[in-house]
């Protein structure tokens, strides 16, 4: 009986048992979503592997792996058959060469190991031209880019050079129309001669030089005044007063490379340093470094220039400017006049009138800051000719187009009509190393080598010649543009022989070619003196004698003063990291944060707070701190750029916006690198200033910023600042007080041994390394960050990881804004807080940066504390201290507890959350054999789960010591270097041995400006900072 009894679980079961039955059969109402991790559902269903089988497989494979691990791998070593004399495995060779990619021109030294280039350094022999910026430092990685083309192509198919030459020569011979060479600025005497020879061999050949970022107006102005198509070459070291109007000369303005000289003038010596006033719209590196920065829109910049011209010349110009700005201009003019020949005015306004007037002011002042005899020749492009070419192409007048070193389909603002025109050209040849936007549309692709695989010569400044020599055999079947030209004219010379001929006959004048090749640079003294041309000379004379306008100047000034803004004004600029976009496929550069916004892997519209509010654009920090921003649609005339992410930029002039060029490349590079938006379509008429319409668009953009806080919050002890006046007149405690701590309720300096927790170790024996960072000289250029990447095998982690604050930079350059007008104002405000309420609200206010803040940069790396907090908390003693002052990190000992990072007050330790090499999730250079060739063999490549940090380039100091020991000599000051100090051409980072009392760094330790970061914590760092001094003296 009892067996028949039935229990109900619910009323439903009693009433409708069928439904319950169905539910019973189907425990889960829908399938468990396993596709996400088991990928192919079908395969999964069909497979007969049971759970037991799975466990068996796991067991066996674990056992097999364990057994296999007992047997060591067999490592093979293959020596040379015939070893080249100069190559010794394990010893680095250096070669002098020159980068000239059309945007960056610099004399560099290339460090090679076992025949492969691994690092770029500045060529100090070349002076100012030898200053390698971040992009030049990173250029070595661009050679090991595995998206490079590996052989020449015809019609999209790989071919060999013999057949390529035959087909191309046939086609060219049959060409009826014009043959046009559309090239970058080569600035190369040999290439010029070669192109002339090519022109004489074929009929109707012409060359159009095209700079993707144009300097046409400045070139025209210079040509008008001095009769040479070039750009003035400035030496800001000689300048006592600098007035910049929209000229980002610490960035890429007119070729850049001016930061070294500028920085030298910024270090106060004998109570003197330069005074720098900057008028600009975007917040640039230059404005950030200026003593006084005035935010003005591009149209106001013209007014400023006109007004300045008037004040310098001594008559009134009717410039429509707000009174305070006018006052500033007036004071600047007074200071310019006071400095006389040591004053200079520079402007980045893309307008011939403006450029001529700037030259006229300098002429009037008698400025000796630039050398008129040796103008820069690195920008030769002519916007008009490029426009004419596009018209010709569309009219079918071009028979063959040879494109070398430029990517017009990507960089031309009227790219569409260029593409249309390209279809009407009979023969199209692209000389490219990647299958970029232009190469994919060309019939012939003549694959070119990287500059480190090439020969060449460059005349960067007039009469200053440089040589390019290969530092490795070509990795692929590539051939230089010039070698292809030589083939086409039927010469049997190679380009290197050709260069040698040209140099021996017309450049060297009897000097040794090998010597020039060794130095990388040759300065010819046989150059003609250049004087301002008769016409402008006359004009200047008149101006000088009587304050009367010549007709041209009248119109010039009048055209400047008539400038008016129509709506928002957009200033297109190039970023420190990306430049014109030549190296978009370089992961080091993509990950290098912008010095101002600190955002990596992106370009964006910079908008002032006021404009953002009125347009409804927003920035917010999400839960993990990462920055999100609104999207905007930017319209210039008929061109519309959609979904442009917006960053609200303190210091952006109201009524102006900024956007970086060089991003948004889509062809010939990995998907990871296809970031940002192409802003070139907005670069109408090659003018970097455009009036735009900005509208809010829907959606939220996720930025990857490496720094999230903006202001210094009144913590004046992090970046100590003072004015030149106080620095000159007062003693150290007034501007650089030693922090006091309480000992038995008495104020005691933190440097006193009585307050120390630890016994002091005797550091007077042997070397004791210190790194000194001069905040006055640091411009924030970021060259050191890339140099550190290259030297120390720092991995690239990608955008999403950077957004999670997992960037691996060993060296970061912190950027701080002031919340009040000045940092001093912040300090005062903070000191003045009374009571809790004011504290809370006050600090809240201080989180917001000022509309036009002061900016300070601070490079921060491991501080190598003598009393290091990280060392005491490591449970496995992976972090320990060396006698020479370096804090050692033994990766093989680290178990990844991350206690050290948590206990580090400077937050300079980096954790390897993942394996960043040979991991498909991080498909950057370390994930392919080619990219890994850049790895420095002296430094360990770290694995997952270990902590890493700056080692103060232990491998470099050890090498210097070893070399001295082997030679049996004493080490001199300057021999010890780190990657960052070596890369820093501005002299902001100095490295050396403080036990060598004659060394620079020992002297800087004694300097009144010296302080340590967070000194009150008592960590006793081995990195010194030098107080930032601003020259605030107005007129």
Give the integer Cα–Cα distance in Å for 85 and 11.
Answer: 94
Q: Segment 966-1025, which members bind another protein (CB under 8 A)?
A: 966-971
By CB under 8 A, tell whether 831 contacts another protein. no
By CB under 8 A, tell whether 339 contacts another protein. no
Q: Which residue among 331, 368, 523, 888 contacts another protein (CB under 8 A)?
A: 888
Give the integer Cα–Cα distance in Å for 910 and 924.
Answer: 19
Give, for 722, the enclosing helix (H) or strand (E). Answer: strand 721-723
Residue (72 or 837) nearer to another protein, CB: 72
Cβ contacts of 603 within 8 Å, gap of 6 or more: 575, 578, 659, 660, 661, 662, 663, 664, 676, 677, 679
State the minimum distance, in angstroms, from the CB of residue 812 to another protein.
20
Residue (428 or 951) nearer to another protein, CB: 951
E-assigned strands of 818-866? Answer: 855-860
E-assigned strands of 578-688? Answer: 599-600, 605-607, 619-621, 627-636, 639-648, 656-661
By CB under 8 A, tell whether 939 contacts another protein. yes
Residue (34 or 962) nearer to another protein, CB: 962
State the minimum distance, in angstroms, from the CB of residue 955 to another protein.
5
> What string marks each residue from 80 to 99 as x (binds another protein by CB under 8 A) or -?
xxxx----xxxx--------
> What string marks each residue from 655 to 694 as x (binds another protein by CB under 8 A) or -?
----------------------------------------
Tell me the chain's radius of gyration from C-alpha atoms: 32
# residues near another protein by CB under 8 A: 50
Give the integer Cα–Cα distance in Å for 717 and 729.
Answer: 21
Q: Please calculate the CA angle 887-892-894 and round it to the nearest 5 degrees.
A: 65
By CB under 8 A, tell whether 807 contacts another protein. no
Give, for 100, the enclosing helix (H) or strand (E). Answer: strand 92-100
> What string marks each residue from 590 to 629 as x (binds another protein by CB under 8 A) or -?
----------------------------------------
Residue (517 or 868) nearer to another protein, CB: 868
State the minimum distance, in angstroms, from the CB of residue 398 to another protein.
47
3 state SS of 819: coil
Q: For residue 632, count other CB atoms closer than 10 A to its CB.
A: 27
Strand partners, 813: 859
By CB under 8 A, tell whether 66 contacts another protein. no
Token duo for residue 500: 């040698």
Task: Say which residue the tokens 């004791």 belong to.
Answer: 768
Residue (526 or 969) nearer to another protein, CB: 969
* DSSP alpha helix (H) spans, 710-780: 724-729, 732-735
Q: Which residue among 955, 987, 1000, 1005 contacts another protein (CB under 8 A)?
A: 955
Is there a contact between 295 and 281 (Cβ–Cβ < 8 Å)? yes
Strand partners, 858: 814
Q: Return the closest-CA partner of residue 482 out of 890, 188, 167.
A: 188
Q: Return the closest-CA partner of residue 210 out of 372, 402, 349, 466.
A: 402
Is there a contact between 456 and 98 (Cβ–Cβ < 8 Å)? yes
Q: Which residue among 168, 794, 954, 988 contacts another protein (CB under 8 A)?
A: 954
State the minimum distance, in angstroms, from the CB of residue 897 to another protein.
17
State the minimum distance, in angstroms, from the CB of residue 792 to another protein.
9
Q: Give the relative orientation of helices 323-339 and 352-365 as an angle to the nearest 10 degrees.
A: 40
Give the integer Cα–Cα distance in Å for 173 and 182.
Answer: 19
Strand partners, 702: 628
Stretch that binds another protein, among 160-168, 491-499, 638-646, 965-973 (CB under 8 A): 965-973
Q: Which residue among 880, 903, 928, 1007 contacts another protein (CB under 8 A)?
A: 880
State the minimum distance, in angstroms, from the CB of residue 144 to another protein.
20
Residue (713 or 941) nearer to another protein, CB: 941
Residue (79 or 835) nearer to another protein, CB: 79
Q: Which residue among 18, 42, 742, 892 contacts another protein (CB under 8 A)?
A: 892
State the minimum distance, in angstroms, from the CB of residue 73 to another protein.
9
State the minimum distance, in angstroms, from the CB of residue 891 to another protein.
6
Is there a contact between 595 and 780 (Cβ–Cβ < 8 Å)? yes
Stretch that binds another protein, among 44-52, 725-733, 750-758, 954-962 (CB under 8 A): 954-962
Q: Give the relative orientation of helices 481-488 and 495-502 as an angle to the nearest 10 degrees.
A: 90
By CB under 8 A, tell whether 964 contacts another protein. yes
By CB under 8 A, tell whether 958 contacts another protein. yes
> What string marks each residue from 747 to 766 as x (binds another protein by CB under 8 A) or -?
---------------x-xxx
By CB under 8 A, tell whether 884 contacts another protein. yes
Cβ contacts of 943 within 8 Å, gap of 6 or more: 891, 912, 915
Residue (111 or 178) nearer to another protein, CB: 111
Give the integer Cα–Cα distance in Å for 597 and 610.
Answer: 18
Stretch that binds another protein, among 260-268, 366-374, 515-523, 881-889 (CB under 8 A): 881-889
Strand partners, 109: 96, 121
By CB under 8 A, tell whether 77 contacts another protein. yes
Residue (697 or 941) nearer to another protein, CB: 941
Stretch that binds another protein, among 337-345, 550-558, 955-963, 1027-1035 (CB under 8 A): 955-963
Residue (549 or 891) nearer to another protein, CB: 891
Give the integer Cα–Cα distance in Å for 966 and 958.
Answer: 12
By CB under 8 A, tell whether 932 contacts another protein. no
By CB under 8 A, tell whether 76 contacts another protein. yes
Report the first-to-last Cα separation within the chain, whole angstroms.
113
Residue (83 or 512) nearer to another protein, CB: 83
Size (the chain), residues: 1035
By CB under 8 A, tell whether 473 contacts another protein. no
Stretch that binds another protein, among 168-176, 290-298, 741-749, 937-945 (CB under 8 A): 937-945
By CB under 8 A, tell whether 428 contacts another protein. no
> What string marks each residue from 348 to 387 as x (binds another protein by CB under 8 A) or -?
----------------------------------------
Give the integer Cα–Cα distance in Å for 398 and 392.
Answer: 6
User: Residue 75: how many CA atoms within 13 Å on its side-chain side?
Assistant: 2
3 state SS of 744: coil
Give the integer Cα–Cα distance in Å for 1009 and 772.
Answer: 11
By CB under 8 A, tell whether 72 contacts another protein. yes
Is there a contact between 455 and 496 (Cβ–Cβ < 8 Å)? yes
Q: Segment 186-225, which members bind another protein (CB under 8 A)?
A: none
Q: Give the relative orientation of helices 161-174 and 481-488 as an angle to the nearest 10 degrees.
A: 60
By CB under 8 A, tell whether 331 contacts another protein. no
Residue (62 or 501) nearer to another protein, CB: 62
Q: Which residue among 893, 932, 1000, 1003 contacts another protein (CB under 8 A)?
A: 893
By CB under 8 A, tell whether 78 contacts another protein. yes
State the minimum distance, in angstroms, from the CB of residue 65 to another protein.
14
State the minimum distance, in angstroms, from the CB of residue 909 to another protein.
15
By CB under 8 A, tell whether 808 contacts another protein. no
Give the integer Cα–Cα distance in Å for 897 and 115.
Answer: 39
Q: For residue 81, count other CB atoms closer than 10 A to its CB.
A: 5
Residue 200 backbone dihedrals phi, psi, to 5 degrees: -75, -20
Question: Residues interacting with another protein, by CB under 8 A?
Answer: 70, 72, 74-83, 88-91, 762, 764-766, 878, 880, 882-884, 886, 888-893, 938-941, 951, 954-955, 958, 961-962, 964-971
């Amino acid at each position: 009986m009892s067996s028949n009894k039935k229990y109900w679980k619910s009323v439903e079961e009693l009433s409708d048992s069928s439904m319950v039955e169905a539910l019973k059969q189907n425990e889960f109402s829908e399938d468990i979503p396993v596709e996400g991790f088991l990928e192919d559902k079908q395969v999964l269903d069909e497979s007969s592997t049971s759970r037991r089988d799975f466990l068996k497989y796991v067991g066996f494979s674990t056992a097999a792996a364990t057994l296999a691990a007992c047997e060591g791998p067999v490592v093979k070593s293959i020596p040379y058959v015939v070893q080249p004399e100069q190559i010794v495995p394990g010893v680095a060779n250096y070669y002098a060469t020159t980068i000239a990619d059309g945007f960056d021109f610099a004399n560099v030294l290339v460090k090679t190991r076992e025949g492969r280039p691994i690092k770029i350094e500045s060529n100090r022999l070349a002076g100012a031209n030898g200053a390698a910026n971040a992009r030049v430092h990173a250029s070595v990685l661009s050679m090991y880019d595995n998206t490079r083309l590996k052989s020449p192509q015809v019609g999209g198919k790989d071919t060999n050079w013999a057949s390529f030459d035959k087909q191309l020569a046939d086609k060219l011979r049959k060409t009826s129309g014009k043959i046009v060479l559309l090239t970058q600025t080569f600035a190369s005497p040999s290439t010029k001669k070669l192109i002339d020879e090519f022109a004489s061999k074929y009929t109707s050949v012409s060359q159009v030089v095209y700079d993707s970022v144009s300097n046409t107006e400045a070139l025209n102005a210079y040509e008008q005044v001095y009769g040479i198509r070039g750009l003035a070459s400035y030496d800001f070291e000689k300048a006592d007063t600098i007035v910049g109007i929209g000229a980002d000369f610490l960035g890429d303005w007119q070729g850049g490379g001016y930061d070294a000289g500028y920085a030298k003038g910024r270090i106060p010596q004998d109570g003197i340093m330069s005074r720098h006033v900057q008028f600009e719209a975007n917040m640039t590196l230059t404005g950030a470094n200026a003593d006084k920065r005035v935010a003005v829109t591009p149209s106001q910049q013209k007014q400023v220039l006109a007004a300045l011209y008037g004040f310098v010349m001594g008559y009134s110009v009717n410039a429509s400017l707000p009174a305070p700005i006018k006052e500033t201009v007036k004071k600047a003019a007074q200071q310019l006049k006071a400095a006389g020949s040591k004053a200079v005015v520079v402007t980045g306004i893309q307008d011939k009138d403006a450029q001529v007037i700037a030259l006229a002011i300098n002429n009037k002042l008698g400025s000796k800051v630039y050398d008129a005899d040796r103008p820069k020749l690195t920008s030769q492009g002519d916007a008009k000719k490029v426009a004419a070419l596009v018209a010709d192409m569309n009219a079918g007048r071009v028979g063959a187009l040879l494109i070398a070193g430029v990517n017009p389909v990507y960089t031309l603002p009227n790219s569409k009509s260029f593409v249309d025109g390209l279809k009407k050209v009979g023969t199209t040849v692209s000389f490219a190393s990647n299958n970029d936007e232009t190469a994919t549309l060309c019939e012939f692709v003549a694959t070119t080598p990287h500059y480190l695989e090439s020969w060449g010569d460059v005349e960067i400044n007039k009469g200053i010649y440089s040589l390019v020599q290969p530092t490795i055999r070509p990795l692929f079947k590539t051939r230089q543009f010039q070698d292809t030209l030589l083939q086409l004219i039927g010469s049997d010379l190679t380009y290197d022989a050709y260069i040698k001929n040209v140099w021996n006959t017309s450049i060297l004048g009897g000097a040794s070619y090998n010597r020039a090749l060794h130095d990388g640079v040759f300065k010819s003294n046989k150059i003609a003196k250049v004087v301002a041309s008769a016409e402008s000379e006359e004009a200047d004379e008149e101006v000088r004698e009587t304050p009367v306008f010549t007709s041209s100047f009248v119109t010039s000034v009048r055209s400047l003063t008539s400038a008016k803004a129509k709506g928002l004004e957009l200033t297109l600029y190039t970023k420190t990291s990306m430049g014109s976009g030549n190296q978009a496929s370089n992961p080091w550069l993509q990950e290098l944060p912008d010095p101002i916004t600190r955002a990596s892997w992106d370009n964006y519209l910079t908008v002032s707070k006021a404009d953002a509010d009125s347009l409804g654009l927003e920035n917010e920090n999400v839960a993990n701190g990462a920055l999100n921003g609104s999207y905007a649609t930017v319209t210039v005339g008929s061109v519309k750029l959609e979904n442009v992410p917006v960053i609200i930029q303190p210091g952006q002039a109201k009524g102006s916006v900024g956007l970086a060029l060089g991003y948004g490349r889509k062809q010939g590079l990995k998907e990871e690198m296809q970031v940002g938006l192409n802003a070139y379509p907005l670069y109408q008429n090659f003018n970097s200033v455009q009036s735009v319409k900005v509208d809010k668009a829907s959606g939220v953009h996720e930025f990857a910023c490496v720094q999230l806080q903006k202001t210094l919050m009144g913590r004046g002890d992090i970046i100590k600042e003072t004015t030149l006046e106080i620095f000159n007149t007062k003693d150290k405690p007034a501007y650089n007080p030693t922090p006091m701590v309480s000992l038995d309720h008495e104020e005691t300096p933190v440097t006193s041994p009585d307050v120390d927790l630890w016994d002091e170790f005797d550091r007077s024996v042997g070397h004791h390394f210190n790194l000194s960072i001069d905040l006055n000289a640091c411009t924030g250029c970021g060259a050191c960050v890339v140099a550190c990447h290259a030297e120390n095998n720092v991995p690239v982690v990608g955008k999403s990881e950077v957004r999670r604050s997992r960037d691996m930079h060993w060296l970061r350059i912190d950027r701080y804004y002031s919340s009040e007008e000045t940092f001093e104002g912040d300090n005062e405000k903070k000191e003045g807080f009374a009571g809790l309420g004011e504290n809370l609200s006050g600090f809240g206010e201080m989180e917001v940066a000022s509309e036009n803040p002061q900016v300070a940069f601070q490079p921060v790396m491991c501080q190598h504390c003598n009393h290091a907090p990280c060392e005491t908390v490591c449970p496995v003693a992976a972090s320990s201290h060396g006698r020479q002052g370096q804090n050692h990190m033994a990766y093989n000992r680290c178990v990844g507890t991350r206690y050290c990072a948590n206990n580090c007050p400077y937050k300079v330790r980096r954790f390897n959350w993942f394996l960043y090499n040979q991991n498909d999730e991080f498909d950057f250079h370390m994930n392919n054999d080619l990219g890994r060739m850049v790895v420095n063999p002296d430094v360990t490549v770290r694995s997952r789960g270990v902590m890493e940090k700056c080692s103060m380039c232990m491998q470099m100091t050890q090498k210097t010591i070893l070399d001295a020991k082997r030679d049996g000599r004493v080490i001199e000051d300057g021999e010890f270097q780190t990657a960052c100090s070596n890369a820093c051409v501005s002299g902001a980072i100095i490295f050396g041995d403080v036990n060598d009392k004659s060394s620079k760094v020992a002297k800087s330790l004694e300097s009144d400006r010296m302080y340590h970061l967070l000194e009150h914590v008592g960590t006793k760092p081995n990195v010194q900072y030098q107080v930032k001094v601003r020259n605030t003296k107005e007129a």
